[in-house]
């Protein structure tokens, strides 16, 4: 994982001219995921870089069955909370994705979706690889809204997701 050096208002952390390895192994990210998905076998490492918009994750997922890259891409495309990004169409960095969110009229350039670079989706020898980005300040918003509705029992899962996606402009 390549993570931002600090939150946007934390300008006291920079400018920095370095990449800082997170020396706790695993980084806190894997144990955080295991807190909600204890069955997941996940290992994480991280470095901090001098940016404020987003984390980038490089994923190696061991597959339980054979799939083709096209099937993985299709699964990503079907999920409205995953946005496929194409470097060849100009979205080859987190800063360009940030600008896209601004151009879409997203408040604070929020990106509630996980952005997967389509070109990076690769399946080889039972492992699926991809690179994705998350805007760590807004990625949690839709799921938090849906979790509150679920805890209160006011909407079905699918109806809550639809309402949240519609309200936030997630397509």
**CB of 51 closer than 8 Å to CB of 136:** no
**For residue 3, what pLDDT band results from cuts at 50, 70 and 90?**
confident
CATH number of 2-139: 3.30.360.10
- Centre a 10 Å sphere on the Cβ of residue 166 and count the other Cβ atoms it contains: 11
pLDDT in tens, 24-77: 899 988 999 999 899 999 999 998 888 878 899 999 999 999 999 999 999 999
Quickly state the pLDDT bin for 15 (edges 50, 70, 90): low
pLDDT value for 22: 87
At residue 35, the pLDDT reads 93
**Could you read off the pLDDT of 84-143 as tens digits, one per residue?**
999 999 999 999 999 999 999 998 899 999 999 999 999 999 999 999 999 988 999 999
| Tokens at 67, concatenated | 């799939």
pTM listed for this prediction: 0.87
pLDDT value for 99: 94
Tokens describing residue 127: 């492992």
How would DSSP label each residue in 58-121? EEEEE-SS---HHHHHHHHHH-TTEEEE-GGGT--SHHHHHHHHHHTT-GGG---SEEEEGGG-
Cα–Cα distance measured from residue 147 to residue 87, given in angstroms and rounded to the nearest whole number: 33
Residue 80 has pLDDT above 80, yes or no: yes
Q: Where are the domains of the chain?
A: 2-139, 140-171
Give the pLDDT score at 50: 82
Is-cis flag, bond preceding 26, omega within 30? yes
Average pLDDT over residues 138-151: 93
Q: Any idea which residue has 């339980």 for tokens?
A: 64
Q: Is 6's pLDDT higher than 70?
A: no
For residue 19, give Cα distances in angstroms to 44, 46, 49, 84. 17, 10, 5, 27
């Amino acid at each position: 994982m390549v993570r931002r050096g600090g939150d946007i208002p934390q300008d006291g952390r920079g400018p920095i001219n370095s990449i800082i390895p997170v020396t706790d192994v695993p980084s806190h990210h894997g144990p955080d995921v295991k807190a909600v998905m204890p069955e997941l076998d996940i290992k994480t490492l991280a470095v901090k870089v001098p940016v404020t918009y987003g984390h980038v994750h490089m994923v190696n997922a061991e597959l339980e069955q054979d799939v083709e890259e096209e099937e993985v891409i299709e699964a990503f495309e079907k999920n409205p909370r995953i946005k496929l990004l194409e470097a060849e169409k100009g979205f080859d960095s987190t800063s360009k994705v940030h600008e896209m969110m601004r151009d879409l009229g997203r408040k604070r350039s929020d990106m509630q979706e996980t952005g997967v670079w389509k070109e990076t989706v690769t399946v080889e020898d039972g492992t699926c690889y991809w690179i994705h980005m998350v805007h760590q300040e807004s990625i949690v918003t839709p799921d938090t809204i849906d979790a509150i509705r679920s805890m209160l029992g006011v909407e079905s899962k699918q109806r809550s997701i639809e309402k949240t996606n519609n309200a936030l402009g997630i397509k």
